[in-house]
Structure 1
Amino acid sequence: MPIVVTGATGHLGRLTVEALLRRGTPATDIIATGRDIARIKDLADRGVTVRRADFAEGDGLAEAFAGADRLLLISASVPVGERFANHRRVIDAAASAGVSLVVYTSTTHADTATTVIGATHGETERYLRDRGIPNVLLRNGWYLENYLGLLPQILDNGTVVGAAGEGRISAASRADYAEAAAVVLSTEGHTGAVYELGGDESFTLTELAAAISAAAGRKVSYADLPVNDLARALAAAGLPGDLAEVLADADRGMSRGEMYTDSGHLRRLIGRPPVTLAQTLAAALEG
């Protein structure tokens, strides 16, 4: 049952390959793909098949997926406006290669989400359905790691800045999302499933600030801004303008509950409670 993991040169893809190996999938049954395969040479050294695949290049994708039974389509790390075209090329190539199941990393409530990010995922989900390829939708929530990268700045300023109001966020770690993907790829009974994935313990950004305060032993508060003001603040901090607007828009979605789920799907798939915010902060601050 050869399995293709796209985006294996990125964080989630690499973690998924490692999770598959831990779960007993033979290295020879895993095909790891990415744009720069030099970054995954170590996987090839361990027996994993490594192939170059660039979502922006339709030619060669079907060849990269040849011989695979299942494929994990990790959403492209490209500007949001280019995502669907990239995903469409991968789905078409998977169909041409005879892949029998596509597992797609979407976002929570992609069918109803109002955010720019949600719209691109929803479009990909519809295309998968219209192409008639058996699929599984892994609607991943926000990554806890999205906040870890901001910790030094948050601690320096004593402020978490956002536009999510008191919207609840069901974030989880990349490793837990990767474990869920590995379970779906390596076991039966998931075809047609839609999994709304997130941590068991949701939090608001006010509660995030309080959790950082408790973990770091210093006062951190939450400053809730209008969406446009947050976009300007992110751009002033050095983010490209388009990305700043997309992230501010994601906070707007959070304020509407679009990153919240109480489904319990992640816990059930991985067979244990997901890593919590408090555990993640403690580990980050110890390091």
Structure 2
Amino acid sequence: MSVVVTGATGHLGRLAVESLLAKGVPAGDIVAGGRSVEKLADLAERGVRTARIDYDDPATLAEAFKGADKVLLVSGTDFGRRVEQHTAAARAAQEAGASVVYTSAPYADTTSLQLAVEHRGTEEAIRALGVPFTFLRNGWYFENYTPQIPTYLEHGAVLGSAGDGRVSGAPRAEYAEAAAAVLTSEGHEGTVYELGGDSSFTLAELAASVAKHSGKDVVYTELPVEGLAKVLEGAGLPAPVAAMLADTDRSIRAGELEVTTGDLSRLIGRPTGSLDDAVAAALA
């Protein structure tokens, strides 16, 4: 079996490669791809095949996917262009005779989350191509929040517009492990997995966890969505990015990031990690 992992220079793709190795997939059966192959040198030293993969360069896709059985198509970061890019990659996988495992967003076909629009478009394009597929609709990573803990501590607050909405988060590594489980077993074609942590949390509970493990006062402060976008702009984010992130909180408030399927824990074969442990580890 030959497996290609796109986006292996990013967090999720790298973790997926590590999960495949941990599952006993021979290094030579894995192709780790990304735009900057030099960032994959350590994997190459371990016997993993590396390849330049640029969603905008069809030649790199054709070369990297040659002989592949399965392609983990990790969603890109070129917002506004991702459907076109992902479709090109899925088409190249199809031409190579490989199936596609695509990392999507929760409830991509029905959610109002702005971040999911291109995921919905990609899923539709993959279905239209007729390439064998599995959709991994990844919920939120704890790592969406834990790198911000120093800011929470500096200001004594977690700012948000999520109200009492709940987030079914899990460690990014567990989503990568779920991808590896799908890539190394059969019976997943045509399946859509809604992935999220076994337990959920509000942003107020996130603030309380940070306070507990840091010993400092941290509270949740609710802002209007437009106000949160302005704060994010003030922190240096481009206005469109700030608006999209603020919209995420609106989606949380609407219950669109609470995932109760249990798909993630079933795929990894154990309960998912807890927010409390993630916060404690980040503060250690």
So what's the TM-score if we normalise by structure 2? 0.98
Using the alignment, how far apart are the partners of 2:3 and 2:73 within structure 1? 11
Counterparts of residues 139-154 of structure 1 (less than 5 Å): 139-154=137-152
- Which residue does 2:82 correspond to in 1? 83
Q: In structure 2, how many angstroms separate the alpha carbons of the residues matched to 1:173 and 1:98?
A: 32
Amino acid at match of 2:93: A
Distance in 2 between residues matched to 1:60 and 1:17, nearest whole Å: 19
- Aligned position for 1:113: 111
Q: Distance in 2 between matches of 1:34 and 1:83?
A: 15
Partner SS state of residue 112, structure 2: coil
Instruction: State which of 167, 170, 178 in structure 1 corresponds to 2:168.
Output: 170
Letter in 2 for 1:61: L
From 272, 275, 278, the counterpart of 2:270:
272
Whether 1:57 and 2:57 are equivalent positions in the alignment is yes
Verify: 1:7 aligned to 2:7, yes or no: yes
How many angstroms apart in 2 are the aligned matches of 1:60 and 1:194? 28
Shift of 1:59: 3.3
Match of 1:182 among 180, 183, 202: 180
CA offsets, 1:159-212, max 9 Å, x none?
101111111100111100000000000111111111111111101111111111
Amino acid at match of 1:173: P
Query: How many angstroms apart in 2 are the aligned matches of 1:68 and 1:277?
Result: 37
Matching of residue 70 in structure 1 with residue 70 in structure 2: yes
The letter for the 2-side match of 1:170 is: S
Other structure's SS at 2:47 match: coil
Q: Deviations over 1:89-148 (max 9, x none)?
A: 11111112221x100000111011112211111111111111111111101001100111
Counting only pairs closer than 5 Å after superposition, residues 233-248 of structure 1 correspond to structure 2 as 233-248=231-246
The equivalent of 1:18 in structure 2 is 18
What pairs up with 1:225-240 in 2 under 5 angstroms?
225-240=223-238
Aligned identity (percent) is 52
Aligned residue for 1:262, secondary structure, equals coil
Deviations 1:217-274 (A, max 9, x none): 1221111111111111001011122211111111111111111111111111101111
Amino acid corresponding to residue 15 of structure 2 in structure 1: L
Match of 1:209 in 2: 207
Per the alignment, in what secondary structure is the counterpart of residue 150 of structure 1? helix
Q: Distance in 1 between matches of 2:43 and 2:77?
A: 21
CA contact (8 A) 1:72 1:104 kept: yes
Q: Which runs of 5+ in 1 are unaligned?
A: none
- The CA distance in 2 between the partners of 1:215 and 1:224, in whole Å, is 22
The one-letter amino acid of 1:183's match is: A
Distance between the aligned counterparts of 1:59 and 1:166, measured in 2?
A: 48
Contact in 2 for aligned 1:63/1:97 (Cα 8 Å): no
Q: Which runs of 4+ in 1 moved over 3 A?
A: none
State the alpha-carbon separation in 1 of the partners of residues 244 and 135 from structure 2: 22
Give me the whole-angstrom Cα distance separating, in 2, the residues matched to 1:257 and 1:59: 42
* Partner secondary structure for residue 169 of structure 1: coil
Instruction: For structure 2, list consecutive stretches of 5 or more residues without a partner in the other structure.
Output: none
Match in the other structure for 1:128: 126
TM-score of the superposed pair, with normalisation by structure 1:
0.97
Alignment partner, residue 38 of structure 1? 38
**Structure 2 letter corresponding to 1:84:** V
Q: Counterpart of 1:81 in 2: which secondary structure? A: coil
